[in-house]
Every structure is written in structure tokens, then in C-alpha cells.
Amino acid sequence: MPGKTRLHKLLVLLALACCLWGHSVWAADPGGPVAILVSDSDEAYRKQAESFRDDVDLPAQVFNLQGDISADPALKDRIFAAKPVLIYALGAKAAYAAKLWTQNRQEIPVIFAMVLNWQRFNLLDGSTNMAGIAAEMPAGTQFINLSIFSPGVKRIGVVYSPYSTELLAQARKAAATLGLELVTEPVDSSKDLQRSFKVMEDSIDAFWVLSDPILYTLDNLDWLEDRCLKKRLLCVGQSQNLVKIGISLAVTPDFSQTSTQAAAMAKNILLHGQKPSEIKVMDPISTQILLNLKTAKRIGLSFSPEAMGMATTVITE
């Protein structure tokens, strides 16, 4: 009997080893390539695609949407002819195309990144194969950093369009947790932003610029920069470009880490069986804080050494 028991244990261990060996072989070779779909030839997308290909360490092939889903009618067929095991979509147009093209191919996972205000595109609705990385830091992270750089801020103004209602709901919760008050004005078009800002400008301590391309045209951003200077208001954005043009402060993801994060997500899906529907949309893993010191001084702000030490980029001219 002891001999049979020992033999039985050995057989069980051997069976487990075979299963694990079979899994590891599959994990090392998940099948076809990862398809990297970029929205256009923008340099930022190209760098992200290259970094992701290095980080994921799996066969990968890049496809370019060329700025329009109809620019290359054969692109969809070429992608699926490659039999991709996953699609990594960079930019809003690529993410939308990937969602549309995989509606009847839910077995192909899609990870999207670099999509501003991703909620307005309804990328998760009706799909179980979609996951992503947000292109903005959570509202709570932005408000915490805002409070560090300007502790006296209590009332934050926000002008928002219907595309930003979900983001605004999250921001309200974050503000309440931090003891801040959001002063909000809904608008339907870009031409209403200036009027709505004037309604709140005398009752707020800072203004939060949402990632809403419907509202923030170049003309509106130029006007907002001048108006914040005139009213001596701290204006906080979510893009490094805003700080370069004169907005005081921006709290953004460190996009150099996005490809690493996306590669880790892809490996979890392809090699460890994690489902995109379990991942959903992740917050960025790393933060950048950009400060326009020249603008800050013009509106009368000064910063502690601790706050200055947190800034990853300081613009002085």
C-alpha cells in the first residue's frame, strides 16, 4: 500500500508538471503578433509604438490609420490577415476603429492609450474585449497637487460640456473628500466658455481646465490665459502644452511610462489569462508636475521649497 501511495503521488506531480510545462510553452509563444494601431503619423504615437514593442517583448506589427478610418479601406483586412492576438490602439481614432472592428471579434483583446477624455467615446460600452490607460491623472491626484502648490485654494471653477459629465462626477467626489468646492458651469459649445468663465471668475480661487477639445479651442485657451492673469487666478490644466503657452500648472501622466504599463497589461492578458473586462481603464502609474514659474509670479504666487521640489518641469521664460 505505501508503494502504491508513493506511486500515486509521483503520477500526480508528473501530471501537474506536464500541465505547467504546457502552459509555459504557450506563454512563451501566444500565437500571432500584437497589432499596434496608431491614429496617424504623429511623433508621439511613433515613440509610444516603438517603446511598447520593446517593452512587450512579443512579435508586433505597426499599422497606421492615417488620421481617418476611411483613408485606407484595406487596413482592417490587413490587420486581421496578420491574425493578431491583441491590438494596442494609440489615440482616439485608433481606439474607436479598434472597438468598431472587433465588435464581432471579441476574442481579440484591445488596449487603448493616449485618448483624451476617453469616457466621451464610450469605448467600454457593449464590449468585453476593451481595456485602456487613461490619458489624464485622476481628479483627486490633480486636486491634491493643486493644494500643495496653493494651499489657500478652496473653490475651484470648472466649465464643462456634455462630453465631460462623467469626469465631472468623479471630480465632485474627489473635491468633497479633500474639503474643496467645485463651482461649475455647463455649456454646449466653445463659444459659451468665455461667458461662463466670467460668471464664476470672482467667486473662485482657481480654475481647472478639463481635457475637452470641444471647449478648449486655441482662441479660448489664449483668452483664458489672459483672463487668469487679469483676475490673478491659478489656472490648472492637464497638458504640458498648456503650461508652455502660459497656464500656471499642469498635473499630467508621465507618458514615458505608458508603454511599460500597457506592455504589462498585454502580458497579463496574453500570458496569464486576465480578461480586459476585469482590467477596464487603469490610471497612469506615474505623474509629472509642470509649473510655469513666470505666470505664477505674475499672479502673485510663491511656492515652498517642498512644492518646488515636486515639480518635474519648471518653465522660467
Across residues 156-160, what is the average pLDDT? 96
Q: Within a domain: residue 147?
A: yes
pLDDT confidence of residue 114? 96
Secondary structure element (H or E) that encloses residue 78, with its range: helix 75-81
Helix axes 258-272 and 43-56, enclosed angle (nearest 10): 40
CATH of the domain at 292: 3.40.50.2300
Q: Is 60 left (phi over 0), alpha (psi -120 to 50) or beta?
A: beta
Domains in the chain: how many in total? 2
What percentage of the chain reaches a pLDDT higher than 70?
Answer: 91
pLDDT at 24 over 80: no
Q: Within a domain: residue 20?
A: no
**How big is the chain, counted in residues?**
317
201 plus 272 within the same structural domain: no
220 plus 233 within the same structural domain: yes
The answer to whether 228 and 193 have CB atoms below 8 angstroms apart is: no
Residue pLDDT, tens place only, 223-272: 999 999 999 999 999 888 889 888 999 999 999 999 999 999 999 999 99
Q: Are strands 287-292 and 249-253 parallel, antiparallel or unpaired?
A: antiparallel
Alpha carbon distance 31, 282 (integer Å): 26
307 plus 162 within the same structural domain: yes
Confidence (pTM): 0.85
Helix axes 165-177 and 139-149, enclosed angle (nearest 10): 50
- CB crowding 12-27: b at 16 or more within 10 Å, else e: eeeeeeeeeeeeeeee
Mean pLDDT of the chain: 89
Across residues 16-21, what is the average pLDDT? 34
Q: Residue 281 pairs with which residues in a beta bridge?
A: 132
274 plus 215 within the same structural domain: no
Which residues lie below 8 Å from residue 115, measured CB to CB, with a gap of 6+?
91, 92, 95, 121, 123, 132, 135
207 plus 150 within the same structural domain: yes
Alpha carbon distance 101, 243 (integer Å): 37
* Residue 30: pLDDT band with limits 50, 70, 90: low
Q: Within a domain: residue 275?
A: yes
pLDDT confidence of residue 245? 85
What is the residue range of 212's domain? 139-252+287-315
241 plus 307 within the same structural domain: yes
175 plus 243 within the same structural domain: yes
Q: Within a domain: residue 19?
A: no
Q: Within a domain: residue 5?
A: no
151 plus 229 within the same structural domain: yes
pLDDT confidence of residue 261? 98
103 plus 158 within the same structural domain: no
Cell numbers representing residue 296 in the block: 505664477
Q: Within a domain: residue 194?
A: yes
104 plus 191 within the same structural domain: no
Alpha carbon distance 109, 101 (integer Å): 12
Alpha carbon distance 132, 256 (integer Å): 16
35 plus 110 within the same structural domain: yes
In DSSP notation, 164-209 reads GHHHHHHHHHHHHHTT-EEEEEE-SSGGGHHHHHHHHTTS-SEEE-
Secondary structure element (H or E) that encloses residue 228, with its range: helix 218-231
Q: Within a domain: residue 8?
A: no
Angle at 280 between CA 212 and CA 132, to 5 degrees: 55
Q: Within a domain: residue 233?
A: yes
Nearest to 248, CA basis, from 302, 287, 294: 294
Match 512644492 to its residue by C-alpha cell. 307
179 plus 233 within the same structural domain: yes
